[in-house]
Amino acid sequence: FMPLNEPNFDSSYILDFGDVLKIQLIGQVMSDESYEIKRDGSITIEDLGKIVLSGLSLEEASNLIKQEVADTFIGTNAYTTLTNIRDVQVVITGNAYNPGIYTLSGNSNILHAITMAGGIDDNGSYRKIDLIRNNQVLETLDLYELFVFGMNNVNTRLRTGDSILVSPRLNTVNVLSGVNRPSLYEMKKGETFSDL
């Protein structure tokens, strides 16, 4: 699950401080420059001035830059690519093997963070791992859905300041025989014998 700090070509990637964009201008004006997004969320392009990109998706930023270039330089097209992804700092708490503050790639998700923390300890829940942002639960990961059913429900990229809470284990049921995978299973409230 370890992410690589490589360009992410997904147009939905949200830009923020530390991301590096390469902007190529072709036409009446020719240039090929890299720009790191500053703390105020902007880049400054010569003859264009400041453009605020923080919080925009890669696609939205690319369209904004194209429009700004088209409005300023006649007959010039702009092509934007992401060349380097920022690092983010997150706090992993609860029943992880090694809770603490971790620095990860801006392309990371909950799975990457849990892996960095050594996984879930013996008392931790595989069914309730919360991603908390601005004191609100943004996403809850149920690893059974991923490992048993193959449903990848990890959608959100991490941001600096996020917290990941591995909850204590929920109700457990020991299945001893007569099934292909006898084991100790964690059950959510409302699940039935047939779910087990």
Q: What is the mean pLDDT of residues 12-30?
A: 90
What CA–CA distance (Å, rounded) separates 186 from 196? 9
Sheet architecture: strand order including 20-27: 31-36, 20-27, 76-84
DSSP per-residue letters across 96-163: BSS-EEEEEETT--HHHHHHHTTSB-TTEEEEEEEEEETTEEEEEE-HHHHHTT------PPP-TT-E
Tell me what pLDDT residue 149 has: 83
Tokens of 9: 């070509």
Residue 28 token pair:
């009446």
How confident is the model at residue 43, as a pLDDT?
95
Average per-residue pLDDT in the chain?
89
Q: What is the mean pLDDT of residues 119-132?
A: 94
pLDDT of residue 47: 85
Could you tell me how many residues make up the chain?
196
Task: Look at residue 54 in the predicted model and tell me its pLDDT.
Answer: 92
Read off the pLDDT band of 9 (50, 70, 90). low
Per-residue pLDDT tens for 49-73? 999 999 899 999 999 999 999 998 8
Q: Is the pLDDT of residue 135 over 70?
A: yes
For residue 72, give Cα distances in angstroms to 22, 62, 77, 193.
19, 16, 11, 66
Given a cut of 80, whether residue 118 has pLDDT beyond it is yes
DSSP, collapsed to helix, strand or coil, labels residue 65 as: helix
Mean pLDDT over residues 5-21, rounded?
Answer: 76
Over 70: is that where the pLDDT of 1 sits?
Answer: no
- How far, in Å, are 92, 119, 123, 188 from residue 109 at the CA level? 12, 14, 22, 23
- Per-residue pLDDT at 10 exceeds 90: no
